């Protein structure tokens, strides 16, 4: 039986199935196996891990535990509570219309961030004007219909993670900022900070940055320096605002002080740093990486709730869930008719009734004609039963998002 236990109950002889530390960026440590030494437990504790998951049938057990099923049920209840209020921004233009513009912005954004990083690495003069123009276009697209860039953010390739992550983070920050009604200038600066938050990785050695296997402790310390490098490079760049620097510098800070580069705690972290930390963790844990199989969007939201308080700001996590929906764009959901559908638009009135593209019938175990259904319409009798893992049915949701 899989159980969650506090780090204080972890003992030699237990079998870990999940270190429960995906909130740690660039986390490539071995995630499962028997604990053989006290030193291993101390290393896990120093990472800031508060709870781990063990298999009581493969190793020692403890009474100080909770079943994984019970934890998931509690997270699901918390997710439903967080989604009780209306989600974010009502679309102003239809999704198909905005997809044309969003595709151009998404493509240009990756190219521009890549060129910006290359210029900075070569020590060439940096022109920030195109970045500012792009940030404005991105914000405008989100205002018109946030679902368009949201869909494109789920169509990603693990070999292009660095650039796609930067663009996706800026989209999520724009959606989050508009939901929280940030001023136009503040939102602009935080979006630019999200676009350039990983700029400091140009100073990370390639053998560390692109290492496919686990990082050693020494390599991980080198990797962590990128947040400080981002701060320093942006601080020295003409035309970059203060909030942009703060957003980029604090994206790895954590509420309990276990983050970096400064180990800030609680309110020592700016609200923008706490916002970008949430969006950064969410995008990272829901993306496929060389060493990491991404969670589904709904699983990702549940993990944000589980890590709230100790690592992420609880109030902001709940707000983030409200603005991207109980079933974020790209979620695969099971309808009560037995059909599967991919969420392509959230409903600004009721998070439980998004627009979905159905393509598969679970009762007959076969594909069906692709159809787009607005679950909020009176003509639709279907309702969502639950989110499902695409691997369960071998469905590539990316095929249905563009």
Task: Kindly tell me if the per-residue pLDDT of 26 is higher than 70.
Answer: no
Percentage of the residues of the chain whose pLDDT score is greater than 90: 69
Task: Kindly tell me if the per-residue pLDDT of 126 is higher than 90.
Answer: no
Query: Residue 100 CA to chain centroid, in angstroms?
Result: 24
Task: Kindly tell me if the per-residue pLDDT of 63 is higher than 80.
Answer: yes
CA 280 to CA 112: how far, in whole Å? 20
Burial class (CB in 10 A: 0-12, 13-18, 19+), 350: middle
The pLDDT-based confidence of 333 (bands split at 50, 70, 90) is very high
Query: What DSSP letter does each residue of 126-161 carry, written as one string?
Result: ---HHHHHHHHHHHHHHHHHHHHHHHHHHS--GGGH
Averaged pLDDT, 232-251: 95
Task: Kindly tell me if the per-residue pLDDT of 22 is higher than 60.
Answer: yes
Average pLDDT, the chain: 90
List the beta strands (DSSP E) in 201-336.
332-335
Residues 6+ apart with CB under 8 A from 11: 35, 41, 60, 62
CA 160 to CA 120: how far, in whole Å? 19
The pLDDT-based confidence of 25 (bands split at 50, 70, 90) is low
* Residue predicted with more confidence, 349 or 391: 391
Averaged pLDDT, 134-141: 96
* Residue predicted with more confidence, 294 or 303: 303
Task: Kindly tell me if the per-residue pLDDT of 130 is higher than 60.
Answer: yes
Averaged pLDDT, 227-241: 93
Averaged pLDDT, 88-94: 80
Task: Kindly tell me if the per-residue pLDDT of 158 is higher than 70.
Answer: no
Give, rounded to a whole angstrom, the gap between the first and last alpha carbons of the chain: 40
Averaged pLDDT, 358-381: 93
Residue 28, pLDDT score: 57
Bridge partners of 384, per DSSP, are: 335
CA 290 to CA 99: how far, in whole Å? 29
CA 83 to CA 71: how far, in whole Å? 18
Residues 162-216: tens digit of each pLDDT: 889 999 999 999 999 999 999 999 999 999 999 999 999 999 998 888 887 777 8
Averaged pLDDT, 6-24: 88
Task: Kindly tell me if the per-residue pLDDT of 383 is higher than 60.
Answer: yes
The pLDDT-based confidence of 87 (bands split at 50, 70, 90) is low
Residue 387, pLDDT score: 93
Residue 310, pLDDT score: 85
102-123 burial, b if ≥16 CB within 10 A, otherwise e? bbebbebbbebbeebbeebeee
Strand, coil or helix: what is 386? Answer: strand
């Amino acid at each position: 039986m899989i159980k969650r236990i506090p780090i204080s109950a972890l003992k030699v002889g237990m079998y870990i199935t999940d270190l429960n530390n995906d909130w740690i960026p660039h986390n490539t440590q071995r995630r499962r196996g028997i604990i053989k030494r006290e030193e291993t437990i101390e290393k896990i504790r120093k990472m800031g891990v508060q709870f781990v998951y063990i298999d009581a049938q493969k190793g020692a057990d403890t009474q100080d535990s909770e079943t994984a099923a019970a934890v998931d049920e509690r997270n699901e209840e918390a997710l439903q509570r967080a989604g009780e209020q209306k989600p974010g921004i009502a679309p102003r233009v239809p999704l198909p219309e905005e997809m044309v513009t969003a595709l151009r912005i998404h493509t240009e954004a990756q190219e521009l961030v890549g060129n910006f990083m290359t210029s900075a690495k070569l020590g060439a003069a940096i022109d920030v004007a195109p970045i500012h123009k792009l940030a404005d276009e991105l914000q405008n697209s989100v205002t018109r219909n946030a679902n368009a860039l949201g869909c494109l953010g789920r169509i990603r390739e693990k070999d292009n993670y660095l650039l796609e992550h930067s663009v996706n983070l800026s989209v999520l920050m724009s959606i989050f900022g508009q939901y929280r009604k940030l001023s136009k200038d503040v939102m602009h600066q935080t979006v630019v900070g999200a676009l350039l938050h990983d700029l400091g990785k140009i100073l990370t050695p390639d053998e560390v940055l692109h290492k496919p296997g686990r990082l050693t402790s020494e390599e991980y310390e080198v990797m962590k320096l990128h947040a400080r490098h981002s701060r320093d490079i942006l601080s020295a760049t003409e035309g970059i605002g203060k909030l942009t620097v703060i957003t980029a510098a604090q994206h790895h800070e954590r509420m309990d002080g276990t983050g970096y580069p400064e180990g800030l705690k609680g309110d020592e972290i700016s609200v923008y740093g706490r916002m970008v930390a949430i969006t950064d963790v969410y995008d990272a844990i829901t993306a496929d990486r060389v060493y990491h199989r991404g969670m589904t969007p709904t699983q990702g939201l549940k993990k944000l709730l589980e890590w709230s308080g100790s690592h992420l700001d609880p109030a902001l996590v709940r707000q983030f869930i409200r603005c991207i929906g109980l079933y974020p764009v790209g979620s695969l959901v099971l309808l009560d008719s037995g059909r599967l559908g991919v969420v392509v638009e959230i409903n600004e009135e009721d998070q439980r009734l998004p627009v979905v593209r159905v393509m598969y019938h679970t009762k007959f175990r076969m594909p069906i004609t692709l159809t787009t259904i607005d679950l909020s319409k009176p003509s639709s009798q279907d309702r969502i039963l639950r989110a499902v893992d695409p691997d369960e049915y071998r469905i590539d949701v990316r095929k249905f998002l563009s």
